[in-house]
């Protein structure tokens, strides 16, 4: 249920509502709007009627049900787009298109530093690189783990770029959060509810990838798991879904952009690298994503893709990334965005 406060409601009114919500066994979430606050009361759907009684409290305008099964992620609760702050100068969800770029995996100091310098020079805002890798085969490269995180931190120190890196289980989440600026939840873990709850308790933004066989409603329910634990800084990432098509690694669902923009206030980022699986197709999908209203991109870039430990075929060389960024600027401008 949503408890809509009057525009002139006092702090005392709000505190009383929060207290009563808790007494009824629900979790209150205050959502600050431009003119008024609304309070989401989240919990067992069956008890909706008792919450209706809060309408009689001082300072309450009305109490309305949230129709969608995802509550905190829904536009019903918050109409304005959410801004997710990554660092002093990077915010996702505003006018600026945020570009995250770097290799699939961190492989060596030289590789990650060279990548970071190159993507920074081309105008990327965030460095990407996996230290813990969720590989389909147990025999594939699994990542440098904490050594990889240290190398990412070194690249950040050198370039000033914040970094996004994947968390693959609850046990190592605190360790990753000590280093990372954004915690990535990969497609394979997007319904790992224990992991979603864990990152929901951490105080770092989360880049949540869509699972490869996930509906948009399920995707938003996964975001809800994170938000219901207290972490509202969720960035949604469409990275391609499984279809009958085999010409691309996945089918990049660009229609997810307007659909998500219609249903949620959370920022939406597109991953054209995993979305297509082929470096030839990455740049056009970057342009299309920006044209369709994405708030950002996450792109794999490797100084030497032929020798990459993972996802070389879909990684752009720095020169190609640079050309893509120059052209992307025109698409950003056409959409009244900045890069």
Q: How far is the CB of 238 from ligand PEP (least distance, A)?
A: 10
How distant, in Å, are the alpha carbons of 137, 182, 275, 296, 324 from that of 332? 38, 23, 20, 10, 12
- Cα four-point dihedral sign 214, 172, 271, 197: positive
The phi-psi region of residue 57 (left if phi > 0; otherwise alpha if psi is between -120 and 50; otherwise beta) is beta
Enumerate residues 102-121 that contact ligand PEP by CB under 6 A. Answer: 104
Does position 107 bind Mn ion by CB under 5 A? no
Enumerate residues 274-293 that contact ligand PEP by CB under 6 A. Answer: 274
Residue number of the CB atom closest to ligand PEP = 186
How distant, in Å, are the alpha carbons of 85, 94, 243 from that of 89? 8, 12, 38
Does position 186 bind ligand PEP by CB under 6 A? yes
Does position 187 bind ligand PEP by CB under 6 A? yes
Enumerate residues 240-279 that contact ligand PEP by CB under 6 A. Answer: 271, 274
> b vs e for 148-168, b when ≥16 Cβ sit within 10 Å of the residue's Cβ?
bbebbeebbeebebbbbbbbb
> b vs e for 24-61, b when ≥16 Cβ sit within 10 Å of the residue's Cβ?
eebebbebeeeeebbbbbbbeeeeeeebeebeebebbe
Does position 239 bind ligand PEP by CB under 6 A? yes
Question: Toward ligand PEP, which CB reaches closer, 104 or 297?
Answer: 104
Residue 272-311 contact track with Mn ion, rule CB under 5 A, x = bound: ---------------------------------------x
Residue 305-324 contact track with Mn ion, rule CB under 5 A, x = bound: ------x-------------
What is the DSSP annotation of 137-180? Answer: STTS----THHHHHHHHHHHHHH---EEEE--SGGGHHHHHHH-
Residue number of the CB atom closest to Mn ion = 104
Q: How far is the CB of 323 from ligand PEP (least distance, A)?
A: 22
Residue selected from 17, 42, 99, 104 as contacting Mn ion according to rule CB under 5 A: 104
Residue matched to tokens 């640079």: 322
Question: Toward ligand PEP, which CB reaches closer, 76 or 271?
Answer: 271
Of the candidates 231, 221, 154, 155, the one whose C-alpha atom is nearest the C-alpha of residue 191 is 221
- Contacts with ligand PEP: how many residues (CB under 6 A)? 9
Q: Which residues pair with 128 in a beta bridge?
A: 164
Residue 34-73 contact track with Mn ion, rule CB under 5 A, x = bound: ----------------------------------------
Range list of H helices, the chain = 11-23, 48-52, 109-121, 146-159, 173-179, 193-200, 216-228, 256-263, 272-276, 282-291, 318-334
Does position 303 bind ligand PEP by CB under 6 A? no
Question: Toward Mn ion, which CB reaches closer, 108 or 217?
Answer: 108
Pick the piece of the chain touching ligand PEP (CB under 6 A) from 83-91, 186-194, 257-265, 316-324: 186-194
Contact (Cβ atoms closer than 8 angstroms) between residue 301 and residue 295: no
Residue selected from 125, 198, 204, 209 as contacting ligand PEP according to rule CB under 6 A: 209
Pick the piece of the chain touching ligand PEP (CB under 6 A) from 62-70, 111-119, 183-191, 320-328: 183-191
Residue ranges in contact with ligand PEP by CB under 6 A: 104, 130, 186-188, 209, 239, 271, 274
């Amino acid at each position: 249920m949503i408890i809509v406060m009057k525009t002139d409601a006092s702090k005392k009114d709000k505190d009383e509502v929060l207290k009563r919500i808790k007494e009824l066994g629900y979790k209150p979430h205050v959502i600050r709007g431009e003119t008024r606050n609304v309070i989401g009361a989240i919990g067992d759907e069956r008890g909706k009627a008792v919450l209706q009684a809060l309408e009689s409290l001082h300072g309450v305008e009305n109490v309305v049900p949230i129709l969608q099964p995802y509550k905190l992620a829904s536009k019903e609760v918050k109409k304005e787009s959410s801004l997710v702050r990554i660092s002093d100068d990077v915010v996702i969800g505003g006018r600026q298109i945020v570009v995250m770029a770097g290799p699939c995996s961190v492989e060596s100091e030289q590789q990650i530093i060279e990548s970071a310098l190159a993507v920074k020079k081309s105008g990327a805002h965030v460095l990407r690189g996996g230290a813990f890798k969720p590989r389909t085969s147990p025999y594939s490269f699994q990542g440098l783990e904490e050594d990889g995180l240290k190398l990412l931190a070194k690249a950040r120190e050198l370039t000033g770029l914040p970094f996004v890196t994947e968390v693959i289980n609850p046990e190592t989440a605190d360790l990753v959060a000590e280093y990372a600026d954004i915690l990535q939840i990969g497609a394979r873990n997007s319904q790992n509810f224990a992991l979603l709850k864990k990152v929901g308790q951490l105080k770092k933004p989360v880049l949540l990838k869509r699972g490869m066989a996930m509906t948009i409603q399920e995707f938003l329910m996964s975001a809800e798991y994170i938000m219901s634990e207290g972490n509202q800084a969720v960035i949604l990432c469409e990275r391609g879904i499984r279809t009958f098509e085999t010409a691309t690694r996945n089918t990049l669902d660009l229609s997810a952009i307007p659909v998500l923009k219609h249903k949620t206030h959370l920022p939406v980022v597109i991953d054209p690298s995993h979305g297509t699986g082929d470096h030839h197709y990455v740049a056009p999908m970057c342009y299309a994503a920006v044209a369709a209203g994405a708030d950002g991109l996450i792109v794999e870039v490797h100084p030497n893709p032929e020798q990459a430990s993972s996802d070389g075929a879909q990684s752009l060389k720095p020169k190609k990334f640079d050309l893509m960024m120059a052209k992307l600027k025109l698409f950003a401008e056409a959409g009244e965005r900045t890069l």
